[in-house]
Amino acid sequence: MSGRLHIASPPADYPQTDAKRRAVLVTGASAAASFLVTTPQIGMASEISPRTIVSAAGDLSDGRLPLTVGLGTCLVRPGNDVVEQVGLAVDAGYRIFDTAQRYGNEAGVGKALRSGIIGGKIKREEVLVTSKVWVDNMGAEATYPSVRKSAAQLGLGGGDSGRNSIDLMLVHWPGRFVRRAGASPQTMAKNAKLREDTWRAMEDLKRDGVVKQIGVSNFSERHLRELLSYAKVRPAVNQFEIHPYNSRGPLVKLCRREGIAVEAYCPLGGKGNENSVTDELLKDPVLLSVGRAHRKTAAQVILRWHLQRDITPIPKASSKKRIEENQNVYDFSLTAIEMEAIAALNRDQFALFDADELA
């Protein structure tokens, strides 16, 4: 079949009186996208979301992740670059900000947010900041001081008696970068112990008020089940790569079943990474067709798709225009048919790599 776009006739039983109805047939892109009908109605997602999609999250002082679009800062240089981007995001209405020890920009994120708080643009309790424990800082000894250092670098207070506290702290990766294939039983056991020791430290840090919520990043189904077998405090969040070419259905379902909120990095395909699919996604005929029906860009369609799957996306953005565009996703809704068409684009393609390959 060709990739040509043309207008399709709606089903005979589809209401003929809705003036806002549009139908676009995309051939050659996806079998499930053969007929896309868009009606701007809320609540037509193919999955029922247990959280409410919000543009302004309100009080976030408990550190619980809301269902809204956040700002990712991976690959954003420390110093003026990250300060400027976070400042622009505050002005655009963002209230979730993601950083990590590995990014080296925690201090810049904190500086920009403190400026917004002092300037009266935001209140501390309206902001949720996530950071992550890097692999080199995992383990019983290193996790404690590294997390306290992260809290000091951010310098946002928020804890008891005005102490610095991190809203959400994640374990960045499930251990050392050792591939499971060919790994000895001793290596597998060593990485498993590293995960457990790190989680025990995270539980202590939550108890002591250094962090409000704890979670994980890049934990596969195997890693997550292992963690749940011994965790006294269950992870609040699992953050991992998700986009329409890698929808991660089984892992998303496991998290939902276990009451773990899902946060998506690389939600637009991982621009800046060697195996990025962002350029291809933003030209995908299915996403462009849905976007035209709603007068939205492909990126906005993708972000809305995440939200309607009960996933909090944290896209990066390098310009004021993109930062504002990514936030403008709360005035339309995708239909069940559109959600299914986008889901059919999945091909399990990673912009980074599959963490399940790690020991």
* Residues known to be catalytic: 103
| Bridge-based pairing state of the strands 22-26 and 96-98 | unpaired
313 near 247, Cβ under 8 Å?
no
209 near 159, Cβ under 8 Å?
yes
The residue type at 171 = V
Q: In angstroms, rounded to a whole number, what is the distance separating the alpha carbons of residues 190 and 185? A: 9
**C-alpha closest to that of 344 among 275, 276, 296, 290:** 290
Burial letters for 264-273: b for 16+ Cβ neighbours within 10 Å, e otherwise? Answer: bbbbbbbbeb
111 near 154, Cβ under 8 Å?
no
The residue type at 93 = G
Q: In angstroms, rounded to a whole number, what is the distance separating the alpha carbons of residues 89 and 23? A: 34
Helices (H), the chain: 80-92, 106-118, 143-154, 185-207, 221-228, 249-257, 278-281, 285-294, 298-308, 320-327, 336-343
Taking the alpha carbons at both ends of the chain, their separation in whole angstroms is 43
Q: In angstroms, rounded to a whole number, what is the distance separating the alpha carbons of residues 254 and 234? A: 14
What does DSSP assign to residue 26?
E
Query: What is the dihedral sign for C-alpha 54, 326, 334, 238?
Result: negative
**Burial (CB count within 10 angstroms: exposed 0-12, middle 13-18, buried 19+), residue 226:** middle
Q: In angstroms, rounded to a whole number, what is the distance separating the alpha carbons of residues 98 and 149? A: 16
